[in-house]
Amino acid sequence: MTATKTDVSTMPTTNRPMNAGQSVADDASRLDGIAKVTGAAKYGRDKYPAGCLFAAFIRCPWGKAELVSHSADEVQKLPGVVEVNVSRKEGLYHGRDMGYICADSPLALKRAMEALRPVWKRGEVKTLIEDDIDKEPEPDVDTGKLLDAAPLKLEAIYSTACQTHSSLETHGCVVDHQGDSATVWASTQGTFSFRDGLGEALKLDAGQFEVKCEYIGGGFGSKLGGPGKEGLLAARLSQKLRKPVYVFCDRREEHLDTGNRPSSRTLVRLGVQRDGTIVGGQIQTWGGVGVARGGGGCTVPSNRYKLGQISKDHKDIAFNAGGPRAMRAPGHPQGSFAEELMLDEVATLAKIDPLDLRMRLASSVLQEQMRLGAKLIGWEDRKLTGSQTGVIRTGYGLGTASWGSAGSLAEAEVIIHRDGSVEARTGAQDIGTGYRTIMAIVAAEAIGVPVGIVRCSVGSSRLPSGPGSGGSITSPIMAPTMRMAAEDAREKLLAVVATAKKVELAALRIDAGEILLDAKAIMSFKDACGLLPSDAITGRNAGRKRAEERGHSNGVQFVKATVDTETGVIRVQRVIAIQSCGKVLCRKTAESQIIGGVIQGLSYAMFENRLLDRVTGAMVNPNFEWYRILGPNDMPHIEPVLWSKGQTKVCALGEPPVIPTAGALAAAVFNAIGAPVRSTPMSPDKVLAAVASGAKNERGAPAVNPPPNGKPENKKPGGGA
């Protein structure tokens, strides 16, 4: 289908020619692209029903504090204030909700918050994982013997900082309760889990209210699992007051109390043979979960590498901070940072190339991807770790990813109308990944029509049920589901044509919008639709068998970066991101997912850090001025490579691209300066400290990464560290 000025559903691209032909729809564009860039797309945060009330939480300003007094009674009398409720006296973290205020305008709400004048008594706080660790755990007897027998040993501690979700649209919703029905505009990753969590608060059955989330400004996992405190507050107030209620966090609250990727600490003790074989050892991990009871898992070992006999233990550490929520590949980027840098340090100890080491330890698929990535990044130009002496030094690193798959029940409908238009219907939400576009592509391909004639309805609890957008399962589940519904609709249409033309159904098919009889066009799709005896036919997936498919989300990333050894500034030059993604449905959105994962991974590695005051426990950077994320000037050239070899099913793509990036960059920095930066964010001060430690080693102090015979060997990549 050729694009015109009024049809942008298909627009060819000349970018990244290596990915040409790798997808069902190489040239398809986002169906909602124009709506989003022009502002026509309305998000939950954009909804302001007539007569809307506004509510917000009263928040604890310290890491631990008791609310001694307040002026709630006086605030209740202020103009515009509808309700004041102080429900809690003790706050155990900065941002803890202590109650709420509801008012008839944002200005009245702001004035009420200022007039509350709370008085707090601060308590002692803990803010770090290290606050709860008296001494490092010793290896068990068997592991100790294994380590003692190994000729080479690596002992190191790696740590990652807490990362907040920083979604474009903050958490919240708008609820309009009309007595015997209600409408909810939500920012959620789960249309149906949000609905299922609201019934009690609304005092309505699920069929009496609708949850709408047609456009969502991201979530990264933080908007899974129901309506949350924001949705419940809006629902209860709207049910009580019989008016629309708007509850959305501001950016400060978003950093404080909507979850995060928890901090981590990883202790590694490995025994290594002189040829680089890892015989095993001890890995102890800790997760900083704030006031939560769990959720701090750190996935190392990843099981992507053969690491011998590993003794692994994990402990979640509580302290005075908001707790974690699921965040894009929970636990995996933390573990990958430690594991990939650890492998580079092992390779340096054994005086072998870190790529060669990984090739020995990884699966055949990852090996094949590594060979391609090494060629694309120019690995042959990599210098030995610790051999560079200039101010600006260049390093190369790599990391790997993998992700499984999961299934659940889902529904879809495809409606073919008499006028020749097609509607794909799914209640699951598009959190920004291009789900709406992908479902239209699947329906169009299954029927045999151009994607431009397919309209896709998403994000409503009135539509067929679908999964939440978590675990990278939405497209893998919904693509075959939508395909089956579209095939059902196609067969029903062809049955009508077969009856009208008095031909065998098996002899008919649809291709490029034409009805074919034994490969010969006999009428257009639109004319065939005109034969329908009713306004439309509906295809459903119920009762149809899903085809057997295969595939797995493996990936490899290579990073080339420069390090300024006088300023400590890291500049990422190039990232090659090879990702298995099964049967690719839409090339542009798949490439976008990979690029976005890399950007988020680099931001995690270089900048992001929730800073808590060690005395008060307050977060000192709950904004985008001091909570830094990757910006345009920090952006490298990112090359996503779609890998579909041997794969036929739609595979997970949201999570895996964010996993290897931080570890690959850490390995590149290590290669450049000759000393590891073992904690994120890899800020200039940490880089300079590592450079200084490397200079110390050259003057005779114990070497972090001792070169053979006291000086670097002149070996080509593939034969040295």
d(CA 122, CA 66): 6
Q: Does residue 703 carry a pLDDT above 70?
A: no
Architecture of domain 45-60+64-123+168-257: 2-Layer Sandwich (3.30)
5: number of Cβ within 10 Å: 5
Residues 12-29: what's their mean pLDDT?
A: 86
The reply to whether CATH 1.10.3660.10 applies to domain 413-540 is no
| Residue 145: both structure tokens together | 């013997």
d(CA 407, CA 429): 17
Distance of CA 653 to the CA centre of its chain: 10
Which 3 state secondary structure label does DSSP give 558? Answer: strand
Q: Does residue 708 carry a pLDDT above 60?
A: no
Distance of CA 383 to the CA centre of its chain: 33
In the prediction, which pLDDT does 715 show?
A: 38
Mean pLDDT of the chain: 93
325: number of Cβ within 10 Å: 22
In the prediction, which pLDDT does 46 show?
A: 97
Residues constituting the chain = 721
308-329 tens-digit pLDDT: 999 999 999 999 999 999 999 9
Pairing of strands 182-186, 209-212: parallel
Long-range contacts of 274-279 (CB under 8 A, 24+ apart): 274/151, 274/152, 274/350, 275/350, 275/352, 276/346, 276/347, 276/350, 276/352, 276/356, 276/357, 276/360, 277/308, 277/360, 278/306, 278/307, 278/308, 278/346, 278/361, 279/146, 279/149, 279/150, 279/308, 279/309
pTM of the predicted model, to two decimals?
0.93
Q: Does residue 395 carry a pLDDT above 70?
A: yes
| Residue 250: both structure tokens together | 């501001």
Q: Which residues make Cβ contacts (< 8 Å) with residue 443, sequence separation at least 6?
A: 414, 422, 424, 454, 456, 482, 483, 485, 486
In the prediction, which pLDDT does 698 show?
A: 58
Confidence band for 559, pLDDT divided at 50, 70 and 90: very high
What does each C-alpha distance from 507 to 92, 494, 519 come to in angstroms? 70, 10, 8
Distance of CA 271 to the CA centre of its chain: 34
d(CA 636, CA 569): 14
Q: Which residues make Cβ contacts (< 8 Å) with residue 571, sequence separation at least 6?
A: 561, 562, 563, 564, 634, 636
Among residues of the chain, what percentage have pLDDT more than 90?
A: 87
Q: Which helix (H) or strand (E) holds 264?
A: strand 263-272
d(CA 234, CA 202): 9
In the prediction, which pLDDT does 355 show?
A: 98
In the prediction, which pLDDT does 707 show?
A: 35
In the prediction, which pLDDT does 17 show?
A: 86
Q: Does residue 700 carry a pLDDT above 50?
A: no
For the chain, the domains span 45-60+64-123+168-257, 130-164+268-328, 362-401+552-698, 413-540
110-165 tens-digit pLDDT: 999 999 999 999 999 999 999 999 899 999 999 999 999 999 999 999 999 999 99
**In DSSP terms, which residues pair with 283 in a beta bridge?**
268, 312
65-107 tens-digit pLDDT: 999 999 999 999 999 999 999 999 999 999 999 999 999 999 9
User: 587: closest CA among 24, 9, 15?
Assistant: 24
Residues 434-459: what's their mean pLDDT?
A: 96
d(CA 454, CA 437): 9
d(CA 426, CA 540): 11
Q: Does residue 528 carry a pLDDT above 60?
A: yes
Helix ranges (DSSP H) in 77-216: 106-115, 141-149, 191-196, 199-202
At how many degrees (to 10) do helices 587-606 and 332-350 cross? 70
Q: Are 289 and 315 in contact (CB under 8 A)?
A: no
In the prediction, which pLDDT does 710 show?
A: 34
Confidence band for 617, pLDDT divided at 50, 70 and 90: very high
Tell me what percent of the chain is helix, strand and coil, each rounded to the nearest 5: 30, 25, 45
Nearest 5°: CA angle at 426, between 191 and 3? 120
What does each C-alpha distance from 51 to 77, 201, 463, 469 come to in angstroms? 20, 21, 28, 32
| Residue 361: both structure tokens together | 């330890």
Pairing of strands 637-643, 152-160: unpaired
Distance of CA 95 to the CA centre of its chain: 24
Long-range contacts of 370-378 (CB under 8 A, 24+ apart): 370/398, 370/400, 370/556, 372/578, 372/641, 373/398, 373/556, 373/557, 373/558, 373/576, 373/578, 373/641, 374/398, 374/558, 376/558, 376/576, 376/639, 376/641, 377/558, 377/559, 377/560, 377/574, 377/576, 378/560
| Residue 525: both structure tokens together | 């799709």
Q: For the domain with range 362-401+552-698, which CATH number is right: 3.30.365.10, 3.20.20.100, 1.20.1730.10, 3.40.50.880?
A: 3.30.365.10
Would 362-401+552-698 and 413-540 be classified into the same CATH topology?
A: yes
Lowest average pLDDT, out of 94-108, 622-636, 705-719, goes to: 705-719
Lowest average pLDDT, out of 8-17, 170-179, 257-266, 473-482, goes to: 8-17
CA dihedral (378, 392, 385, 628) positive or negative: negative
Q: Could you give the count of Cα atoms lying within 13 Å of 316 in the half-sphere of its Cβ?
A: 14
In the prediction, which pLDDT does 15 show?
A: 82
Q: What's at 520, amino acid-wise?
A: K
651-685 tens-digit pLDDT: 889 999 999 999 999 999 999 999 999 999 999 99
In the prediction, which pLDDT does 581 show?
A: 84
Nearest 5°: CA angle at 360, between 355 and 364? 100
